[in-house]
Structure 1
């Protein structure tokens, strides 16, 4: 019974990366390429926040096509190119840690940037209101209104991605904590298999934010969605 259960877990783990991993890699590559195209468009490029999104998209593409592909090959197809070369093994470890940390760091940086600028703007407006007489019936121009709307929607995109990242990193963080707490405990074969499956699953979930951010942006914000439509129309008209 325990042997068949262990085999079933090993098979499920392989299937997860063989099919789920392949799907995420393809979806992530397509979405990442579209992200680069979108944030290079003049309508989005003007915002300082877009530079972070552009760097975030680029680092995620490298993360997907290096770390995730190698992990999927190892877990799903039992192929590990790093065992053939010590140099490649070291490069894999280095790239894994750099591009695991870099996208999250960029996300933190853009969050701090948006928060700081928003607070600074609010403070400046309050200071101006204390010294300047209000102008009756003053209305913002259409250009100012569009810029404000786009800025707000970029913030919505940011918050949505932060939420997705937090949700997806919780299983991996929880497993790492459990692993550290129980590392010196004796474990039966079944327990080791369960832990291996949970670890592989948590790593898989941890890859999801890098692969779906384009779809999160498209779903959550009208500005980004409309820009995607315009780009697709141009592509099909060529």
Structure 2
């Protein structure tokens, strides 16, 4: 075996290990956090906010991604266990869900950025669009639109037979048309990374500009206005943190997709293919963290989120303490009741004898 073959083998082994580690870390940190997100965003102080509804809806899709898609990816990528490689229907459903669920989650965060812009506007007519009713309509519309935009994948997805380096036939779920495969790379890059990220940056800047203008015009006069303003600022911080992580984790994959599109007609040797596969898999693995780290970002960036989480934990601890105290008091009453019954029995016996 030549030194190049050894290097290629090492790169392929490193790719498998890196992908497995990234997926396991994303699953480990994402299996707990989103559950707490659901609890906190359904608390009375936050569930009335349209921005919280966007966060909550995005969390549900992240939960599906963490508990369904990531385990399937771990089995297929690292252990070569995948029913979708042998069943055409499962092939279409799995890849369609992989693409659409991730895009819906990012687009809901982008809509939350737009909601913060509307909410911070000095124009009352514009602020009126920031409401729970509008948020529900937009969330339903985003889900339907994304599913329709990705529905064409179902036509071009199928099971393919390929020969590996050992000459044996292997099966994989992929797009059978190479032209469509290139188109899908641009499509996915556009609707998963570029458009949502650009909207987050654009409306984030607009929101900061609105806040700066309102601070110059409106003075905070009473405690209620201060509480509302503090809640808005905390939600904005949480939103900015989530948007930045989405942009940072999806940007390398976007750069690689652009590079791959410009070099797809070049003749590449096996070493370069292995190196590009390493870059592709590593950048793709980074995108998993934008769906599993939201709880930790919200905890670090939003004091209102930490406060509601602390209240929930305190209530749970208080409830458990109350149950323990009740149980102990009942256990303490039992000997007293038994002793009273014995004394009553002795007293009745003495009365009968007399």
Pair in the same fold by TM > 0.5: yes
Aligned with residue 60 of structure 1, among 48, 59, 62 = 62
Deviation string for 1:166-205 (max 9, x for gaps)? 1111100001001111111111111111111111101101
Change in 2 beyond 3 A, CA 1:120/1:67: farther
Map 1:65-104 → 2, pairs under 5 A:
65-104=67-106
Per-residue deviation, 1:229: 2.1
Q: 1: CA distance between counterparts of 2:317 and 2:24?
A: 27
Aligned with residue 11 of structure 2, among 5, 9, 19 = 9
User: 2:108 maps to what in 1?
Assistant: 106
Would you say 1:139 and 2:141 are equivalent positions? no
Q: 2: CA distance between counterparts of 1:21 and 1:84?
A: 23
Contact map agreement 1:218 1:224 (CA 8 A) in 2: yes
- The TM-score, its normalising length taken from structure 1, stands at 0.87
Aligned with residue 51 of structure 2, among 49, 52, 62 = 49
Q: 1: CA distance between counterparts of 2:21 and 2:37?
A: 24
User: 1:212 maps to what in 2?
Assistant: 293
Hey, which of these two has a bigger chunk of helix by percent? 1
Contact map agreement 2:23 2:288 (CA 8 A) in 1: no
Per-residue deviation, 1:165: 0.6
Contact map agreement 1:14 1:77 (CA 8 A) in 2: no
User: 1:177 maps to what in 2?
Assistant: 258
User: 1:128 maps to what in 2?
Assistant: none
Per-residue deviation, 1:66: 3.0
Q: 2: CA distance between counterparts of 1:17 and 1:232?
A: 35
Deviation string for 1:102-148 (max 9, x for gaps)? 011101111111112212458999xxxxxxxxxxx98312x332222
Would you say 1:225 and 2:306 are equivalent positions? yes
Q: 2: CA distance between counterparts of 1:192 and 1:160?
A: 35
Change in 2 beyond 3 A, CA 1:76/1:233: farther
Contact map agreement 2:22 2:286 (CA 8 A) in 1: no
Relative to structure 2, which stretch is displaced further, 114-123 or 149-158?
114-123
Q: 2: CA distance between counterparts of 1:75 and 1:138?
A: 55
**Number of residue pairs aligned between Structure 1 and Structure 2:** 226
Q: 2: CA distance between counterparts of 1:182 and 1:117?
A: 44
Which has more radius of gyration? Answer: 2
Relative to structure 2, which stretch is displaced further, 9-18 or 213-222?
9-18
Change in 2 beyond 3 A, CA 1:230/1:191: same
Q: 2: CA distance between counterparts of 1:88 and 1:120?
A: 50
Would you say 1:20 and 2:22 are equivalent positions? yes
Q: 1: CA distance between counterparts of 2:15 and 2:120?
A: 45
Change in 2 beyond 3 A, CA 1:44/1:184: same
Deviation string for 1:147-171 (max 9, x for gaps)? 2211210011001111111111110
Change in 2 beyond 3 A, CA 1:85/1:225: same
**Bigger relative contact order (CA 8 A; separation at least 6):** 1
Q: Which runs of 5+ in 2 are unaligned?
A: 128-218, 321-354
